[in-house]
Amino acid sequence: MHSELSLIEQVKSGKLWDIPGGIHPPERKSLSNSTKIDIIPLSPFYYVPIKQHIGNEGKLLVKVGEQVLTGQPLTDAIEGLSLPVHAPTSGVIKDITPHVSAHPSGKPEITIVIESDHKDTVFTTKPIKNWQTSEAASLTKHIQSMGVAGLGGAAFPTYVKTNPTKDIKLLIINGVECEPYITADDVLMRYFANEITQGINILQHMVQPELVVIAIEDNKPEAIEAIKLAVKDQDTIEVRVIPTKYPSGGEKQLIEIVTGQEVPSKSIPADIGIVMQNIGTCFAIKEAVIDGKALIHRVVTVTGESISRPQNLWVKLGTPISDLLTHCGLVAEQDQRLIMGGPMMGFNIMDTMMPVVKSTNCILAPSEYNLPSFGVEQACIRCSLCSDACPVNLLPQQMLWYSKAKDHEKLEEYNLADCIECGVCSYVCPSQIPLVQYYRSSKVEIKQEKEDKIKSDKAKERFETRQLRLERDKQARLLKHKESADKRKKALEKDGNAKDKIAAALARAKAKKASTGETAPISADAQTTNTQDKVAAAIARAKAKKQAQADSETTATVSSESQDSEVGSAEAVEAKSAEQIKKDKIAATVARAKAKKLKQAAENKEQGESN
């Protein structure tokens, strides 16, 4: 408790700390911060990606052909880290289709295409009038439903930070805006200081910090004076003017500058009792709670030496980049470079139909002279300038080697996750090695590798669970069969006459079958016995038939002297088979031969006696 109180006391003392590394690139902010924020006219079409934040995309609530109003929800938040998106203007849903995304890869993402009716008819607003007496949970839910995300660049869902799980002692409002060219937060503080302060008051009510610090770089004097004037009567809010240095606007870097404390690796500021919000996010919270307006627009800096009228614009989310360039006057050069974001952390725009999203704070069209393109990558000369300039005390040179070798284990060992992708290492590299690009690619690969491993582990777990279930079911069946067999065996042993009873039952079944002519189900043994009985009956019938034929042959009279004896009577012939008839014919022939022989012998004897 003492250390926490000493932290607040130190912050109140006004002491500031320095961060390691860092650079001082040319600012070039004066190009766009000298005029008020302009409002860009309505575009014919708006391209609203259904995911514009860190986390999960929402569930679609609209379909093609549906009429929508300004601020109407197009998606609904789902479980997990999720935010809805809203219609930037009234019109008709023309399509829901993949469209070029506001991402370095430009990979198409599911996008809702709205054709504007140029009426900008507003959807029913839902302000919370008595927010001072509302519970923090209800305000958190409301802020989520309004789609509020961090407008500093990361687009982290704001409702998560408004509902911390730990006690928060210090709330830091980030108005540093340290990257060259960008002035969106600067002009917002100049002209909307009171609205920003209202958003800060809402955050105070929800987070309950002991102290609020608004940090602003010393290169924004007008913004500093405007904010100081807005909070002059609020004792719990203090303004800290910090030295201009890039990247002092990084979350962990600004915490170190204001408090002297470092956020541990793989930890978040809430772990040490600190929450940070961006100036633009505070304005969006005010609009969501007090005005009941969803996050459908933001301030975007359109600047660069190739822009004829560089300025800051209120831009509806989903507006194509081409419309901003047309409004501000792009002086096209050959192979003109366009960047979304600043020169340090931004990425090249490959298609001007890329839409403005919640994280879009700048559209930059620099000249080649003021912001030269990267030249041909040369070999690393091990000068150590990258490690000297790194604000996170990493070793960019070693990380480069492991990125090229795709040695993800070593990259994690060297704390690649702590890299804030500020671009300082690439800026100071004399060999023009795009170090940040290597680190970004490696982060994506590591993330994908971990996701694949999680999927693989889940699939393996499902397979093993299924195999265990199948084996368990198999053993249960075998046990059941064994128990049934044991019961039958015991029953047979207990009743010695069981076999006789079974035989008697089979006999009764046979008798019943014989009397009724019905077929009853019988066992395999009974079927075998029945077959044997049938065979025996067939043999008996054959023997009886053969005996009858033998008796018929004994009683038949065959005349050895008459020709009629060759054939016999018609009835006898019909009773005999062809084979029997053949035998009878042979016997008759033999009988005639014997009779003839006897007759011849008798005649010879009589003749001899007469002689």
195-206 per-position pLDDT tens digit: 999 999 999 999
- Rounded CA gap, 216 and 239, in Å? 8
- pLDDT, tens only, 150-196: 998 788 999 999 988 889 999 999 999 999 999 999 999 999 999 99
CA dihedral 41, 44, 49, 54 (to 10 degrees): 0
Distance from the Cα of residue 508 to its chain's centroid: 69
In angstroms, the Cα distances linking 502 to 198, 455, 526 are 95, 60, 10
Token pair 């009779």 is at which residue? Answer: 595
Distance from the Cα of residue 553 to its chain's centroid: 97
- Rounded CA gap, 416 and 386, in Å? 14
**192-201, 219-228, 323-332, 553-562: which range is least confident on average?**
553-562
**Mean pLDDT score across all residues of the chain:** 88
Hey, CA dihedral for 178, 421, 311, 331, is it positive or negative? positive
pLDDT > 90: percent of the chain: 69
- pLDDT, tens only, 466-507: 999 999 999 999 999 998 888 887 877 776 566 667 777 788
Q: Return the higher-pLDDT residue of 500 and 369.
A: 369
1 confidence band (pLDDT: 50, 70, 90): very low
Compute how many other C-beta atoms are within 10 angstroms of the C-beta atom of residue 467: 10
In this predicted structure, what is the pLDDT of residue 375?
85
Compute how many other C-beta atoms are within 10 angstroms of the C-beta atom of residue 340: 23
Its pTM stands at 0.76
- pLDDT, tens only, 240-288: 999 999 999 999 999 999 999 999 988 899 999 999 999 999 999 999 9
Residues 6+ apart with CB under 8 A from 431: 377, 378, 379, 380, 381
Residue 391, pLDDT > 50, answer yes
Q: Is 342:364 a contact under the CB 8 Å cutoff?
A: yes
Residue 122 — φ and ψ, nearest 5°? -85, 135
- Rounded CA gap, 169 and 270, in Å? 9
Residues 6+ apart with CB under 8 A from 582: none
- Rounded CA gap, 477 and 471, in Å? 10
In this predicted structure, what is the pLDDT of residue 120?
94
In angstroms, the Cα distances linking 103 to 329, 350, 373 are 24, 10, 19
DSSP 216: E
Hey, CA dihedral for 549, 550, 554, 555, is it positive or negative? negative
In this predicted structure, what is the pLDDT of residue 125?
85
In this predicted structure, what is the pLDDT of residue 561?
43
Q: In what order do the strands lie in the sheet with 297-303?
A: 38-39, 311-316, 297-303, 362-364, 339-340, 347-348
- pLDDT, tens only, 4-30: 457 788 898 889 999 999 999 999 999
Token pair 């100036």 is at which residue? Answer: 279
Residue 514, pLDDT > 90, answer no
Residue 540, pLDDT > 80, answer no
Domain boundaries, the chain: 388-505
512 confidence band (pLDDT: 50, 70, 90): confident
**263-277, 323-337, 400-414, 503-517: which range is least confident on average?**
503-517
Residues 6+ apart with CB under 8 A from 190: 222, 223, 226
- Name the nearest CA neighbour of 305 among 350, 341, 337: 337
Residue 80, pLDDT > 90, answer no
The mean pLDDT of 334-348, rounded to a whole number, is: 90
The mean pLDDT of 386-391, rounded to a whole number, is: 95
- Name the nearest CA neighbour of 420 among 174, 252, 270: 252
β-bridge pairing 91-99 and 211-217: unpaired
**160-164, 307-311, 427-431, 507-511: which range is least confident on average?**
507-511
β-bridge pairing 274-278 and 170-175: parallel
DSSP 70: B
- pLDDT, tens only, 551-576: 665 554 444 444 444 444 444 444 44
Residues 6+ apart with CB under 8 A from 9: none
| Residue type at position 256 | E
